[in-house]
Structure formats: structure tokens, C-alpha cells
Amino acid sequence: MIHLHHARGSRSFRVLWLLEELGLSYALTEYDFTDGSLRSPEHLARSPAGKVPALEIDGGTIFESGAIVQVLTEREGRLAPKPGEAERTAFLEWLHFAETQAICLQNLNIQHNFIRPEAARSIPTMKLETKRLVVTARALERRLTGRDHLLDGGFSAADCMFGFNVRSLGYFLPRGDYPAIFAWWERMQARPACARALEREGGEMFDRDFFEIPDA
């Protein structure tokens, strides 16, 4: 049995979507970031820093979304170029670039949502992380301009890596500035596996459409 340890609106959406694309059956346990369950001894045994995703599979546990995605594609022999095949390097670059971008998204999420009291939130950090996010979004926009997927060869697990990112991105940057990114996301949501993953997760990530940086 495959078992995904998951939190709504988190990087574990990458794995949820890929499991659906691969047609694998799985159990799902959902965590709340605020109740301490990610730091329980049971979960720390799965993920040493107490994060999601973690995946139990074939008698072992894998942490780190990029590693999970790579292991799953290699296990199934699908949705990723193999070593020596065309676009293998591009696949690995974009797989890992998703984390370069995700760290900006995470920092913005922490600043806009998690830090309490609100007066402790840092407007300079919000501005800096937004600028850093723009650099990554422009890179992704360039990559997706004139391409249907991250790779020229078609849909791959690299696209799944950006599922979490692009869902979050539009809350921090104007969607209209990134037409290729959001056209890609429309195409991805039309994939039955992506739609199933979104439905299984349920609901929007945040309680508003956009996070404005407050006036100083």
C-alpha cells in the first residue's frame, strides 16, 4: 500500500497529482500545520524535519517532494526521461527549480499568513521575497512561452512539481503578468488526473484572492 502524508495547499500536492497521473492507489493522511502533529515522533521518523510530503512505499519511507517524484517515475518507468534520454537534464533542472521558487512562496506564505501577532510581520521581507519570486516567475514564464509543458517531449512529472507553485503564485503576483504560466495551469487542470487531485484535496488554498503587501 502506498501512503501519502499530506497537507492541503502544500508541496505534497505535487505527489498527490503524480500518483493520480500514474494511476496508483494510495491512502492519504492529512496534517494540520498548527497542531504539532508534524513534529510527532511518528512523523519525524518519516521526515526528519517534520515536513510534508512523505511517502510510504514498498516497505520504506521517502521524504523530499523532488526525491519522491523521481523515485515514483523511475519505479513506474513513466513521465520522466531516463538517464541518457533527450531532455533528462532539462527534466532534472526544472524538477529542482520548483524548489528555488517554492522557497519564496513559502516565505511569503509565512509572512502573510502565519506570523502572529500581525504586527510582527516584516514588510521589507515581504517586498524582498516578492522581488525574488518575480525573478523565478519570469524564468518560468519564458520557459512556458511557446511550450505546452515544461519539456518539449510533452507532459512529465516536472509539470507536477509546479502544481503546488503555480496554485500559490497567483496569490502573491498578478496573474495577468504571467499569461503563459496561467494558460499552462488551465491546460493542466483540464487533465483528469489533476482535476481528481484538486478535488481530493478540496477547496481553495487561502481565504482571499490576493495578498497585497500592507502599507508601511
Q: Which positions touch ligand GSH (CB under 6 A)?
A: 7, 10-11, 33, 38, 50-53, 64-66, 99
Burial 139-165 (b: 16+ CB within 10 A, else e): ebbebbeeeebbbeeebbbbbbbbbbb
CB of 92 to ligand GSH, least distance (A): 14
- Of 11 and 112, which CB lies nearer to ligand GSH in the complex structure? 11
* Measured distance CA(73)–CA(88) in Å, rounded: 12
CB of 112 to ligand GSH, least distance (A): 15
Who contacts 140 (Cβ-Cβ below 8 Å, separation ≥6)? 97, 101, 162, 165, 178, 181
- Of 36 and 214, which CB lies nearer to ligand GSH in the complex structure? 36
- Of 92 and 180, which CB lies nearer to ligand GSH in the complex structure? 92
CB of 205 to ligand GSH, least distance (A): 11
CB of 201 to ligand GSH, least distance (A): 13
* Measured distance CA(80)–CA(93) in Å, rounded: 12
